A and B are shown apart, each in its own frame.
Chain A
């Protein structure tokens, strides 16, 4: 298998094995939605979904993803219909400069699924914790330089249908 699927389109793998997924998206596919904040796994702006699981595209070497299906922010909407979380970001004014937003939304989509699937998080070991604290912990991998956190958390919790435990 020497191809990779990105937003349902199949592409040949880059010839240079040093190409990260993030650079491949930017340089080969002109998909600039995933952002390069730090390029070292420290900010989450490059978050994409690989076979449904969120990962930092800046630390992925593309050749390692042969046969995998990647979804970027460009692929989360249903044609002209925004993903409910995209709409919630607009409704909740969940960004200022918008640099971190695509990563936040991809992370949020995955976080909502992880909540549905009852995947554990660190706060589950605390004597008491709230849903808000749980969501914050799950989204800690996405930094926002503008500090839009309260509205980001609001967008994610307002569209999360997982029942409270």
Chain B
């Protein structure tokens, strides 16, 4: 690991005291950043340590708006969301990710900003435009079975690996940000991430001095919540494909639906084309097939990940069928289909 200086941040206002944000990184749980620093993929000169950022450790609820501090651990958030059926999607996604050991350490903001698991990003002897802009993308012609089928560019086909972020996109969460000048702003998670285009090393809208202070969910979509993850082993593996879905059927038509896809795109993918196809229509397997087709029409695969197109289509239609069947059997049901 390259040597670095440490600035200990206690309050968002302390940002103004940070000498330089050039080559700096915020350090939360470190489960991703420390790993990348060991690999020399991240080589920050300055670490802004968030372990004393205690004001960001709370979950508060205000008039239906749930505000999750940036430092709330994945475990604490999963426990909380589990007890609140309307946040079930979040609990399902979090508990499907990583392991208890990692979730005990991982933070809400760090989870959103974790970086891709592309093998070529991790292998410093290979070309990767994310790690080394201009060096090329070894994944396009390489082993690419974990790679993206939506939103890619000729310069990068890496995926965003987070389960939680996929649920956050479905829930239309908002990221609360504070910068060194003390300016606070909010950004929908749906707009947080940029697509690779010809700058795959740029992954979000955030500037170097932008500290995430919290993530909020302003209105929780009603209906049945399902997070379905498809992976190589049934635990402790990243998603190959995942679907986050909330769906409500009222008077015979789908009157609320939100859909996000994980493991298939450079960002947690808001499936707004599928949503548009479903909204206001009576649920049916034919409609669900059309919705999947609408979202997948621009999909492009690279050999190793060809299988993701049919797997995503089937996972998506399966989840929609399950949610609408559950709505039919249990009118005005909210939350998980089954919970202990």
Q: Contacts A59-B35, A64-B49 given; indicate if A125 touches B338 (C-beta within 8 A).
A: yes
A110 and B100 contact, CB distance less than 8 A? yes
Q: Contacts A64-B51, A120-B82 given; indicate if A54 touches B34 (C-beta within 8 A).
A: no
Assembly CA distance A41 to B104 (angstroms):
13
B38-72 vs A, CB cutoff 8 Å, 1 = contact: the mask equals: 10000000010101000000000000000000000
B101 and A47 contact, CB distance less than 8 A? yes
B102 and A41 contact, CB distance less than 8 A? yes
Interface hub of B4, B102, B337 (most chain A Cβ within 10 A): B102
How many residues in A have their beta carbons less than 8 Å from beta carbons of B?
39
Q: Which A residues from 52 to 96 make CB contacts under 8 A with B?
A: 53-56, 59-61, 63-66
B34 and A120 contact, CB distance less than 8 A? no
Q: Which B residues from 243 to 291 make CB contacts under 8 A with A?
A: none
With both chains docked as a complex, state the minimum distance between the C-beta of A84 and any C-beta of chain B, in angstroms: 20
Q: Contacts A17-B47, A61-B27, A125-B336 given; indicate if A40 touches B101 (C-beta within 8 A).
A: no
Assembly CA distance A50 to B38 (angstroms):
22
**Interface status of B30 (Cβ within 8 A of chain A):** yes
Q: Contacts A17-B47, A44-B99, A120-B79 given; indicate if A126 touches B4 (C-beta within 8 A).
A: no
**Interface status of A155 (Cβ within 8 A of chain B):** no
Stretch at the interface among A4-12, A24-32, A135-143, A144-152: A135-143
CB contact between B31 and one of A41, A54, A137 (< 8 Å): that residue: A41
Q: Contacts A17-B47, A47-B101 given; indicate if A120 touches B91 (C-beta within 8 A).
A: yes
**Interface status of B183 (Cβ within 8 A of chain A):** no
A126 and B34 contact, CB distance less than 8 A? no
Q: Which B residues from 95 to 115 make CB contacts under 8 A with A?
A: 95-96, 98-102, 104-105
CB contact between B78 and one of A66, A120, A126, A165 (< 8 Å): that residue: A120
**Interface status of B340 (Cβ within 8 A of chain A):** yes
B317-340 vs A, CB cutoff 8 Å, 1 = contact: the mask equals: 000000000000000000011111
For B91, what are the chain A residues with a Cβ–Cβ distance below 8 Å?
120
B1 and A122 contact, CB distance less than 8 A? no
Top 7 A-B pairs, shortest CB-CB distance = A141-B99, A140-B235, A120-B82, A122-B95, A64-B51, A124-B340, A53-B104
B binding-site residues for A, Cβ under 8 Å: 1, 3-4, 6, 27, 29-31, 34-35, 38, 47, 49, 51, 75, 78-79, 82, 91-92, 95-96, 98-102, 104-105, 235-236, 336-340
**Complex A-B: 15 CB contacts under 8 Å:** A41-B101, A44-B101, A55-B101, A56-B101, A56-B102, A59-B30, A59-B102, A59-B105, A60-B105, A107-B100, A119-B75, A120-B95, A122-B92, A137-B235, A141-B236
